[in-house]
Amino acid sequence: MKMVSSQKKMIQNLKIMIMMLKKENNRREESCIEDESNLGQLVMERSQEVVNKFMDTMTSLAEKWAYLGLNKNCFEKRLDSILNNFIELCSDAEQWEDTLVGYLEQEKVLMLKNLRNLTKDLALPDYEPPQSGGFMDMLNDIMEKHEELQFIKKERFSKWNELHSHYSSLCNKLGYPEEGHRLSTTLSIPTEAALQELQSNVMELKKTYSKKQKIYIQNKRSILQLSNDLEIEPDSKDVVKYTGHEETSVILSDSFLKDQESFMRSLEKQFVNNEKNKEILMGKLEQLWEKLEVDQYTRNKELNGINGWKPSELVKLTELVEKYEELKKQNMGKFIEKLRTEIVEYWDKVYASQEEKDEFEIYMCEEECIEALLTAHEDELERLKFRYQENRKLFESLDEWQQCWVKYLDLEKKMNDPNRFNNRGGVLLKQEKEKKKTQKDLTRCEKDIRTLAEKWSKENYNAPFMVCGQPVLEFIECQKTHYQVYKDNEKMARQKTKSDADAKSRKLQNGSSKPTPNLLTRTPTKFSANNTPTSGVKSSDVNRRLQSSMKPLSPVNRELRTTRSRLQIHRLGSENRCNSTDRSRRATPCGGSIKSTPNIPSLVYGDCTKNIGLDQLIGSPPRS
């Protein structure tokens, strides 16, 4: 510090001296000589003026001394005294100037040294004094440069102290150790790079503090809300620890925020557990109410004041469950009957196998109502519900397939019904479209079932998903196979019935000795090889007519048949025309169509059949 004060004092004295020299130099600027070679001549001229003045003065003194009549000894003493004073004055003047020049030279060297040290400390380029101009100009430039660097040094120190103060404050608020960003000594000058680094660190700390402050405020609000929902006192130790500080006074260290978040997570977990506990209690209460057939008014009255899942509300729910549990024990038999009904319903929902039902049958037949029996039923129902809920999508897809399958079988039955051709209004087309849509729905459902079953199998160690005691895909294929077998059996039964009827008719026809002409009947245009109708005539009529044809036709009967009333014959012709219009067109081998001739009644004469026209039927009978 003493050295610094001495330097300051020296610089101040030097400034004063330079100011004085500047003033004298300014006064002589007007008469400044541009050429340095004339400087000696100027000195000689000025010295000559002084010498002349001195000689005039000495002449005047000599005259005065002579007038006084001083002796020689006294004259010499006075002359020597004046000359000695003049010589001493000139010597003092020269010595003073020599001292000034030496002092200024010494100060120049010292200031240059200080200037180089400043440039080095400030990390600036080295300073070189100007070589042009005089000594005073050089000294003046050095002084100005020194003042400039001193100002820069002061500004840097001021900025460093300000930034370091912010840095220290932010480190304390964030709980960071104050490491780095320290000057090596008190006299060290911070560089521009150090200032920029410190400033960037301060900006980063500000961002971090702002971010952590937001997290703290958000966590604080959540903790206060959760504390209110969980009925925790706001002045409890943990709540005060993590929420009882102002945002600007709390130390937002990483450990503090971690502990605060951990405490908030514990409250959230407790909050979620309370919510789950309420759902469980409400589920039990709803089941008890359903089993006890409690009306809605009583339920709303019991739940009055229970809107959330605060601890006090959970206590009330627990008391309600205990209350109705006691009532359940008093109505255990009724409960068991309801549970058995629900179990049977869920057996159907999950497609339980007969073995699975038989395993529980021992409990279903038990009549003594005890707690263990009730528990067994509840466990079985809970198991079935869990299985259904866990595989709900698969069971719903299987139910949809079953509905489509039943619909498909119904449509098959309708389409195999011969009477459906008597319907009008596009019913056949509608049935065909509905059948195609049902087949598409079946394919889609089977695809969904296969996907869900494979997924379930992968999650359960490649075990198949069982329904009705067999894998679900085999269950579907089994139903298809059974239906196909049923169709094949039905087809075989029809074929057998038809073959039996054909064999019987052939036997009857072959057994007749002399066939006679039959009654005038309406028959289709096509006949089988044994002269029996293939369609449109019942088998009983065929047999009756065959038997009647075996007897000889008497003249009376022949006359009665030939003289049938014209009205009946006309009606027969009209009916035959109506039947023929239903089959008005039929396909040809070339892809076209032709009109079919109407069915014409035929008369049987012996072994031949003759077709007659409608005009012949209405007119006279054919002659034999």
pLDDT above 60 for 489: yes
Per DSSP (E only), the strands in 390-483 are 466-467, 470-471
Q: With bands split at pLDDT 50, 70 and 90, how would you rate the model's confidence at 36?
A: low
pLDDT at residue 64, rounded to an integer: 87
pLDDT at residue 238, rounded to an integer: 81
Q: With bands split at pLDDT 50, 70 and 90, how would you rate the model's confidence at 527?
A: very low
* pLDDT digit string, tens, across residues 57-69: 888 888 888 888 8
pLDDT above 80 for 468: yes
Residues near 242 by beta carbon (within 8 Å), at least 6 away in sequence: 219, 220, 223, 259, 260, 263, 264
Task: Output the DSSP codes for 114-181.
Answer: HHHHHHHHTT-PPP----SS-HHHHHHHHHHHHHHHHHHHHHHHHHHHHHHHHHHHHHHHHT----S-
* Among 111-125, 179-193, 532-546, the range of highest mean pLDDT: 111-125
Nearest Cα to 213, choosing from 260, 163, 145? 260
Mean pLDDT of 578-605: 34
Is 269 or 554 the better-scoring residue by pLDDT? 269
Residue 404: CB atoms within 10 A of its CB come to 20
Q: Considering the chain, what percentage of its residues have pLDDT values greater than 90? A: 17
pLDDT at residue 28, rounded to an integer: 45
pLDDT above 50 for 292: yes
- The H or E element containing residue 611 is strand 608-611
Question: Which residues lie across from 521 on neighbouring strands?
Answer: 602
Between 82-96, 400-414, 591-605, the lowest mean confidence (pLDDT) is in 591-605
Is 508 or 322 the better-scoring residue by pLDDT? 322
Q: With bands split at pLDDT 50, 70 and 90, how would you rate the model's confidence at 455?
A: very high
pLDDT above 80 for 338: yes
pLDDT above 50 for 602: no
* pLDDT digit string, tens, across residues 73-93: 888 888 888 889 888 888 888
CB 384 within 8 A of CB 346: yes
pLDDT above 50 for 554: no
Mean pLDDT of 535-564: 42
pLDDT above 60 for 217: yes
- The H or E element containing residue 605 is strand 602-605
Between 420-434, 446-460, 497-511, the lowest mean confidence (pLDDT) is in 420-434
Task: Output the DSSP codes for 332-358.
Answer: HHHHHHHHHHHHHHHHHHTT--HHHHH
CB 205 within 8 A of CB 171: yes
Q: What count of Cα atoms within 13 Å lies in the side-chain half-sphere of residue 218? A: 8
pLDDT at residue 183, rounded to an integer: 55
* Among 60-69, 511-520, 585-594, 601-610, the range of highest mean pLDDT: 60-69
pLDDT above 50 for 525: no
Would you call 602 helix, strand, or coil by DSSP?
A: strand
Q: With bands split at pLDDT 50, 70 and 90, how would you rate the model's confidence at 142?
A: confident
Q: How far is CA 178 from CA 155, 164, 412, 431, in A?
A: 24, 10, 89, 88
Residues near 43 by beta carbon (within 8 Å), at least 6 away in sequence: none
Average pLDDT of the chain? 75
Spatial separation of the C-alpha atoms in residues 302 and 313, rounded to whole Å: 12
pLDDT above 50 for 505: yes
Domain borders along the chain are: 1-23+53-183, 191-302, 514-618
Q: Locate 113 and state its tokens.
A: 């040294």
Is 313 or 601 the better-scoring residue by pLDDT? 313
pLDDT above 50 for 618: no
pLDDT above 70 for 599: no
Q: Considering the chain, what percentage of its residues have pLDDT values greater than 70? A: 71
The reply to whether the predicted model has a pTM over 0.75 is no
Q: With bands split at pLDDT 50, 70 and 90, how would you rate the model's confidence at 396?
A: very high
Q: Locate 280 and state its tokens.
A: 């469980």
Q: What phi-psi label fits residue 128: left (phi over 0), alpha (psi between -120 and 50 degrees) or beta? A: beta
* pLDDT digit string, tens, across residues 580-592: 333 333 333 333 3
pLDDT at residue 384, rounded to an integer: 92
Q: With bands split at pLDDT 50, 70 and 90, how would you rate the model's confidence at 98?
A: confident
